[in-house]
Amino acid sequence: MHLSDAQIEEFDRTGFLLFPGLLDEEEARVLKASTPDLYERDGPEVVRESDGGGIRLAYGGHSFAEPFAKLSVMPRLLNPVRQLLRGDAYIHQSRLNPKQGFSGGAWNWHQDFGTWHREDGMPEPRCVMTAIFLDDASPVNAPLMVLPGTQRHGIVDAVSKEDTTGYTLMQIDATVVRDYADKNGIVPLMGPAGTVAFIHCNLVHGSSNNVSPWPRGIMYFNYNAVDNVPTGGNNRAWYHNNPDRSPLLPGDDDALHALARAAE
């Protein structure tokens, strides 16, 4: 996969690109089938919802789950990321947000780079959040929502740090969100399982509670430029701030199909 100049310009302007069905149904099934292994881990990298019910986050899947390790270097993902970053990349952080039916909690409006800059010392917003849909995302199961073009305004200073366990989120002041939304609208990112979105790390985004019966899981690979290494030391755990900054090399674009064949 190779992005056109027009697509790169669109990303620079809006802060995101959406590719419905970039992974096919079989590839999406292989990924979905491997998620229980992530949820069943008993380490701090698995974070539960505030009510103690479902899983809110499972970090680091590319490090210990073979399907996600292979996915992270598939050319369909890595090549566009390297184009958008204008250079080599490594995974600063990966996380799975299951957004389970009836229990998937809201994510208040925020910028991921705001956290990585303040917590990890990431110098510049040269990181691409690559979102892989593990379930169909529709209007009814709390799709990820973005505020187009907000990445061009830099880090929002009007934030409050949420009191959470297991992750850090800087909630953006409602008046700032209203101003951005009134100017450029709100776009829900929707599509079938296997859809992939490339998202600028400074783009303001969030999602509501999932009150539907259906999950809306997304695996995020947050690719950082190798010359944009965080300078804040390793104060956070490996699954928040990956200490392995080796440049990723493209792998086998048929890797998930090969896993499916091996399992037959």
* Mean pLDDT of the region 95-122: 94
Q: How many CB atoms lie within 10 A of CB 139?
A: 9
Q: Is 119 exposed, middle or buried (0-12, 13-18, 19+ CB in 10 A)?
A: middle
Residue 217 falls in which region: left (phi positive, over 0), alpha (psi -120 to 50) or beta: beta
Give residue-wise pLDDT tens across range 52-102.
Answer: 678 899 999 999 999 999 999 999 999 999 999 999 999 999 999 999 999
DSSP 8-state class, residue 152: G
What is the helix (H) or strand (E) element at residue 5, kind and residue range? helix 5-14
Prediction pTM value? 0.95
Give the DSSP per-residue string, 229-253. ---S-S-S-TTTS-S--PPP----T
Q: How far is 98 from 118, CA to CA, in rounded Å?
A: 26
Q: What pLDDT is recorded for position 222?
A: 98
Mark 50-77 as b/e (b = at least 16 C-beta within 10 Å).
eeeebbbbbbbbbbebebbebbbbbeeb
Q: Are 129 and 18 in contact (CB under 8 A)?
A: no
Q: What pLDDT is recorded for position 163?
A: 66
Q: What pLDDT is recorded for position 48?
A: 86
Q: Under CATH, which architecture does the 5-263 domain have? A: Sandwich (2.60)
Q: How far is 240 from 135, CA to CA, in rounded Å?
A: 24
Given a cut of 80, whether residue 259 has pLDDT beyond it is yes
Domain ranges of the chain: 5-263
Q: What pLDDT is recorded for position 164?
A: 78
- How many CA atoms lie within 13 Å of 21's alpha carbon, on the beta-carbon side? 2
Q: Which range among 43-57, 96-110, 111-125 shows the weakest confidence by mean pLDDT?
A: 43-57
Give residue-wise pLDDT tens across range 17-50.
Answer: 999 999 999 999 999 999 998 888 889 999 988 7
Share of the chain above pLDDT 70, in %: 98
